[in-house]
Amino acid sequence: MRETRDPIADGWALVATDRWRFEAALASALEPQSRYLTEVERQLYAGGKRLRPLLLLLATRAVRPTEAEGEVSLKAVQAAVSLEMLHVATLIHDDIVDSAELRRNGRAVHAARGVQTAVLVGDLQFIQAIRIFAGSVDTATDMGIVRLVLDVGFRICCGELDELRGIDTSEPEALRRHYRATIERKTAILFGLACEVGASLGGAGTRATLCLGQYGRSLGRAFQIMDDLLDLAAAPAASGKDAYTDLAQRCWTLPLINAVEELGPGHALSIHMRGDETGEDLATLAAAAVGTRGFERAYDDARREALEACQCLADLPASTVAALLGRLAMYVVDRGFGAPLPIPAPA
């Protein structure tokens, strides 16, 4: 396989024998609800890089003695479909909460169909995801995985509610603790689930399963911090969604916490985040945040999480898949930030 600068594309090429089965299983999972879906929802499933199901399939192969040979189990394919459906459900609900008009270069579901329909369509994806997962249960181990998925779904919803509710303090360290707890339940947990379930379905032992789960959670934290950085720094055309959503919603993300702490209470950004009008447009406020050392510190935190993800791979057998997982971790913090970062050697 010839490597490109995009390890996600390389990952899908590496699991090409599984991809067509994933696509077929996803189409089958969507069929029972087809009368309720429009082109808007279908575009959500057609777009995106499908990182979470890819991680599951890669983790399944990473723990096998002959990691790149043969097909993964049907259970792994069904689990990958369920993860993608869970993710799409969270996107639909996120956009409602954030009042976001764009998603993956198209209209958000609530913008196209109204909030009431969007809530129900999002719920439908959650329920169908669990139905697909539960449909392949035939062992006690499988039932344990289903319980894990349900627990993750519950914690994702809690994370979204925590983010929406916010925190009644302006103290930077308290805000940072709240932020980290929120992204753990909002994002990191689903990445960890993908890797942990993949490892388990690949027949991994306890240690390898825990290591891959930790890899996924560290990767998820890095991914979310980068999303929050790019919300301030990237153009809408590049991100495929509304710019400055966090600013508009006065959501205390890590780069905004750091920037406000650095700029002080009298700066227009700080005044805006407190809920007062400043007369400055969002682009100007975002530029102020991007220009701070606090913005760079948030990037440093994302890179630290990516490096920790790479260290979690040290106990895995050396393989093409393990190397690709390391590339993926560094790609997450490279996207939109210049030259590729070096992949650290295992400790």
> What are the extents of the domains in the chain?
7-334
Contact in structure between 199 and 209 (CB atoms under 8 Å): yes
Contacts of 27 (CB under 8 A, 6+ apart): none
How confident is the model at residue 317, as a pLDDT? 84
How confident is the model at residue 3, as a pLDDT? 67
How confident is the model at residue 83, as a pLDDT? 92
How confident is the model at residue 18, as a pLDDT? 92
How confident is the model at residue 148, as a pLDDT? 78
DSSP SS3 for 103: strand
Residue 15 tokens, joined = 């699991």
The size of the chain, in residues, is 347
Contact in structure between 254 and 221 (CB atoms under 8 Å): no
Contacts of 11 (CB under 8 A, 6+ apart): 54, 58, 324, 328
How many other CB atoms are found less than 10 A from the CB of residue 40? 19
Tokens 């790149």 belong to which residue? 68
Question: What is the rounded CA–CA span in Å between residue 146 and residue 343?
Answer: 34
How confident is the model at residue 49, as a pLDDT? 86
Question: What is the rounded CA–CA span in Å between residue 328 and residue 323?
Answer: 9
How confident is the model at residue 296, as a pLDDT? 94
Which tens digits make up the pLDDT trace of 274-314? 988 888 889 999 999 999 999 999 999 999 999 999 999 99
Architecture (CATH level 2) of domain 7-334: Orthogonal Bundle (1.10)
Angle at 161 between CA 156 and CA 162, to 5 degrees: 95
Query: Model-level pTM greater than 0.85?
Result: yes
**Which DSSP letter does residue 337 get?**
S
How confident is the model at residue 130, as a pLDDT? 85
Question: What is the rounded CA–CA span in Å between residue 124 and residue 168?
Answer: 33
Average pLDDT for runs of 10 along the chain of length 347: 78 91 93 91 86 95 71 89 91 80 78 87 88 74 76 80 74 92 90 93 90 97 95 67 83 95 95 88 94 95 96 90 94 71 48
Q: Give the burial class of 301: count Cβ atoms within 10 A of its Cβ; 0-12 exposed, 13-18 middle, 19 or more buried.
A: buried
Stretch (H or E) spanning 106: strand 106-107
How confident is the model at residue 1, as a pLDDT? 55
Contacts of 318 (CB under 8 A, 6+ apart): none
How confident is the model at residue 55, as a pLDDT? 97
Rg (CA), the chain: 20
Q: Closest by alpha carbon to 191, among 167, 163, 164, 226?
A: 226
Stretch (H or E) spanning 102: strand 102-103
